[in-house]
Structure 1
Amino acid sequence: MQHLKLKKCLGSALLGAGLLAGGISQAETPLRVVGNFSGNKIHVEQIERPFFEQLQTSMGVPVVYNTMDAIGVNAADALRMLRSGSFDIMSVQIGMASRDDPFFEGIDLAGVSADLESQRKAVDAFRDKMDERLQQRFNAKLLTLWPFGAQVLFCNGDIHSVDDLKGKKVRVFTPSMSRLVEGLGATPVTLQFSEVYLALQRGVADCGVTAPSAGNSGKWPEVTKVLLPLPLSYSVQGHLMNLDRWKQLSPEQQAKLQAQFRTMDDSMWDLASVNNQDAIQCSTGQGECKQHTAYSMREVPIDAQNRQRVVELTNQVVLPAWATSCSRNYKECKTVWNETVGQATGFAIQ
C-alpha cells in the first residue's frame, strides 16, 4: 500500500508538468539523465524511472534515462560531469562526490545524526547553502536532497558492539566514514557498491556499510552473518541539473519543474523510513517481511553505550578533520556548518 501511495502521489503531481512543455520542449536535444544504481531496485523502478518517463510524456521532451552502472559512470565523477555538461540531470551520491569539494559532505558527516528525523532537520537547514555553492562552483542546480536511510554494518565475525570492529576491514564510501571506522580501530576499504558483494565473499572486506534495503537488494546477507544497525550516516543523495540547461527555463517554468522534483524528494524520504525497516526485518528473519528477501542474520542490539562511543569519535576525529579540510578552500565553512547542521543536530565544531 505504501508504494502504491508513493506512485499515486508522483503521478498526480506530474500531471501539471505539461504546463512546462512550452519551455523545455523547444530544446532540440533530449534531457540526458543519469539515475541511481540499478541494484537499488525499489528506488529506481518504483520512483525514479517512472518519474522521468512521466516527465517525458507530460512535457513533450525526449528524456534519455540510464542508471549509473548501466553506462559505466563513476559516482565520484558526477559533479565534474554536470559542470562540463556531459549530462543534464544526475543522481548524485553526495559523500562520494564531495572529493571535489569537502563542504558538501557536511550534510552527512559520519556520526552526527542519531536518527532519520535528525537527519531531515540537518538537510533542511543545509539545503540553501548547498544549492548556492553548487551553482557557484559546479554549474549545477540542486533539485532534490534525500537519504537512502541509516547506513549500517553488514559483517562477518564475532561482533556484539561497535568496539568489536577493531581489526576488521570495513567497506566505506565517504572520508568522514573512513575516519570514524579508523577511530574504532578498523581499516577502511573504499569500494563502489557493485564491488562489495565479492569483496565480502572473498574476505577482502569483513564488513560493508550501506542502507538495510540496499544491502538486502544487493544480497549482502548471502555473504555476511551479522547486522549491526547503528547509523553511521545516511547516504544522502541529490538530483542535480546542469545550470545552463536550468537557465533555459523561465522563472515560472523553473518553479513548476522544481515542484515536481519536490514530490520525488518527499517520496524518497518516505521510502527511507518504511523500506529500510522492512529490510531489517527481512534480513534478520524477524517480523513480517513484505518487500525484501528473507534471511537469518543475527542482529546486534544497539544500546546507549554504542551510540555514545560514536558521538565521542565524531567530536574527536570526524568534525575537526572535516573542518580543516573544508576550510582550505572555503574559509566560512565551519561557521556555515555550525549555523546550519550543527544547530539542527546539537553539535558544534570548535
Structure 2
Amino acid sequence: MNNYKKRLPLLMTGIFACCSASAEEVEPVTLKFAEWLPTTSFATEHGANPFMEKVAELSNGNIQFDFYPAEQLGRGSESLTLLQTGVADIANVAPAYMPEKLPLSGVVELPEIVKNSCSAADSFYELAQPGGTIYEAEFKRHGIRPLWVGNMGRYRILTNNKDIASLDDLNGLRIRTAGGPMTLTADALGSSPVTMQGSDVLTSLSRGTLDGVYYPLRGILDYGLAPALDQLVPNLSVGSFGLTYSISDRVWESLSEQQQDILLEAGRYAMQTYCDYVDSSEPEIIQVLENEYDITQAPFSDSDLEQAQTDLEEVYARWAEPLEARGLPAQQVIEEMQ
C-alpha cells in the first residue's frame, strides 16, 4: 500500500495533465474490447459500459471501442490469450478461469477476504499495478496490465430444504462452489464441495441432488436460482470472484501518454461505479429474496462465526503453501489484501 501511495502523485499528475489538455488533441484510436459476460450482466452495465462512456467523454470521442460482449471473440478462459495474440486489445481477464496462469490473483476467492466490494477492489488494484506484488509476479510476466478491477461481491451460503441453525448444520451438505479456494472453504466447514456447470445447478437443487450453493446474491436472481432456495447465511463471506479489465502491453506501449492517462482515469471511475453498485444493492436484493421468494436469513451466532474463522485459517494455509513452494509470495499477498 505504501508503494501505491508513492505512485499516486505520479498517477494523479498524469491525470491532471490529461484533463488540462484539450480533448480534441487526443489522437484517434479504436480499441477492440472483449467481454465474456453478456450485455445484461451487472458487471457490464455498471462497469464496462461506464468505462467506455467515460473514455469517450474524456477523449471527446477520439478513443473509441469495438465492443464484443458475450464471448463473441472467445470464452472467458481464453481472454488472456486474446490479449497476447492481438485478437483483443482490452479484455475481462478472470483469474478463476486460469488459476495456473494467475494463481496469486485468486486471493479474492478466499473466505472473508472480500468484506465489501470496494475495499477489496481498492486493495487488489494496488497489488495489480506496476510495482505491486501481484503485478510483478503475474501480470508483468504475461504482458498485460489491469486498467481497473472488480469482484462480484461476497459469496454467501444458500441452501434448499436444509435448516441452518448452527455451523454444525453444514456438515455433509453437498454444496456447489466455484472451485479453487472455495472448494477448500467448503471442506473446512464440513461440507462436500461439488463442481458442476452453472446450467445444471437449478435442476440439481430442484431434484435434491444438491443441498446448496456458494453464490453472489445478485447472481441468484440473474441465474434464476431463487425459486430453488429457501435459506441464506448473511454474515459469512465464503469467497468472491475477481474481474480484471486488462490491456496488453503491446497496445499500452503504442498509446500516447495522454491516451494512457484517459484510460487510467476512466478505469478508476468504472471501478468505483461498479463496486458502489455491488455494495449498495445488497440490502435491496436481500429484500427481494425474502419478500418474493421466501428465502429466510439464518445468521450464524457470534460463537459460530468465531469457530468458522478458526476453521477457515486452514484454507489460507492450504492455498498459500503450494504457491510458496513455487516461489510465489502468496502469504504476502494475503497480508496485503487483509
Shift of 1:175: 1.2
Shift of 1:274: 0.8
In structure 2, what is the equivalent of residue 278 of structure 1? Answer: 284
Q: Is the 8 A contact 1:228 1:301 kept in 2?
A: yes
In structure 2, what is the equivalent of residue 64 of structure 1? Answer: 66
Q: Is the 8 A contact 2:107 2:334 kept in 1?
A: no
Are positions 1:319 and 2:307 aligned together? no
| SS of equivalent to 2:168 | helix
Unmatched 5+ stretches in structure 2 = 1-17
Distance 1:167 1:319, change over 3 A: same
- Written as runs of structure 1 = structure 2, the 5 A alignment for 1:1-350 is 19=23, 22-25=26-29, 30-35=30-35, 37-38=37-38, 41-52=41-52, 55=55, 58-68=60-70, 70-71=71-72, 73-116=74-117, 119-120=120-121, 122-123=123-124, 126-127=127-128, 128-160=132-164, 161-229=166-234, 230-285=236-291, 294-316=292-314, 318-329=315-326, 331-334=327-330, 336-337=332-333, 339-341=335-337, 345=338
Shift of 1:272: 1.5
The separation in 1 between residues aligned to 2:35 and 2:22, in whole angstroms, is 22
Deviations 1:11-54 (A, max 9, x none): xxxx96983874452xxxx4222235238633323442354366
The separation in 2 between residues aligned to 1:310 and 1:80, in whole angstroms, is 38
Shift of 1:210: 1.8
The separation in 2 between residues aligned to 1:139 and 1:221, in whole angstroms, is 40
In structure 1, what is the equivalent of residue 15 of structure 2? Answer: none
Shift of 1:194: 4.8
Distance 1:270 1:254, change over 3 A: same
Unmatched 5+ stretches in structure 1 = 1-14, 286-293, 346-350
Q: Is the 8 A contact 2:134 2:333 kept in 1?
A: no
The separation in 2 between residues aligned to 1:260 and 1:178, in whole angstroms, is 35
The separation in 2 between residues aligned to 1:38 and 1:21, in whole angstroms, is 34
| SS of equivalent to 2:136 | helix
Shift of 1:333: 1.0
Deviations 1:95-123 (A, max 9, x none): 33323232111244223445557635643
The separation in 2 between residues aligned to 1:47 and 1:59, in whole angstroms, is 19
Give TM-score scaled by structure 2 length: 0.80
Give TM-score scaled by structure 1 length: 0.77
Distance 1:208 1:18, change over 3 A: farther
Percent identity, aligned pairs only?
19
Provide the aligned length of Structure 1 versus Structure 2.
Answer: 314
Query: What one-letter code is carried by the residue in structure 2 that aligns with 1:255?
Result: D
Shift of 1:262: 0.6
The separation in 1 between residues aligned to 2:106 and 2:243, in whole angstroms, is 11
CA-based RMSD: 3.1
Distance 1:204 1:125, change over 3 A: farther
Query: What one-letter code is carried by the residue in structure 1 that aligns with 2:304?
Result: N
Q: Is the 8 A contact 2:176 2:212 kept in 1?
A: yes
Query: What one-letter code is carried by the residue in structure 2 that aligns with 1:323?
Result: A
